[in-house]
Amino acid sequence: MKVSNAILMPEFERLLNNGHTVEFMPQGTSMRPFIEGGHDSVILGRNKNPKVGDIVLAKTNQQYVLHRIVKINKNDIILQGDGNLQGYEYCTKSDIIGKVIIIKNKNGKRKCLTKGIIWRHLPTCFKKLALKIYRKLLQ
C-alpha cells in the first residue's frame, strides 16, 4: 500500500520524537549501490547529532530525501545520494527527521552501513564506472 509522503513523514517524525524506530522501503535509485529502492528497507532512529557520512531522512525544498550527509557547516547540512554523482540537497539540522541505523535487503539480511563512507571518498570516475557495472548486473 502506498501512502503519500505528506501523511507519512509527519507520522515518522512523531514516532521518532517519541523514542520509536521506523522501518520503511525507500523508492528510487539515488542511494545505489547501497540502498536499492523498492527492494531494500531501512530502519530510522532519531538523529540528535548528525555527522558527515550519516544517511538521513530530511526535508529539502518541500520534498523528502534519504541521502548521505557530505558536509556540515554549523547548522547547514549538505546532502547527496550515493548514486548521484553531481547535485546536492541543502537543509538545516532541524530539517533532519531521522538517521538510518539499519539497512536490510529484500531477504531481511542486514547490509553494511560503513561501505558508503568509503564510497564517498572515491574519485568520481571510479564511482561512475562502478555504477555502470552495477546497473548492468541488475539487468
What is the residue whose three cell numbers read 546497473? 135
CATH class of the domain at 5-138: mainly beta
Cross-strand pairs, 77? 72, 91
Exposed/middle/buried for 61, CB within 10 Å: 0-12, 13-18, 19+? exposed
pLDDT digits (tens, 9 = 90+) for 88-100: 999 999 999 999 9
Residues 6+ away with beta carbon under 8 Å from 131:
32, 33, 83, 85
pLDDT digits (tens, 9 = 90+) for 110-124: 887 777 778 888 888
pLDDT digits (tens, 9 = 90+) for 54-65: 999 999 988 899
At 51 the pLDDT is: 92
Q: Where are the domains of the chain?
A: 5-138
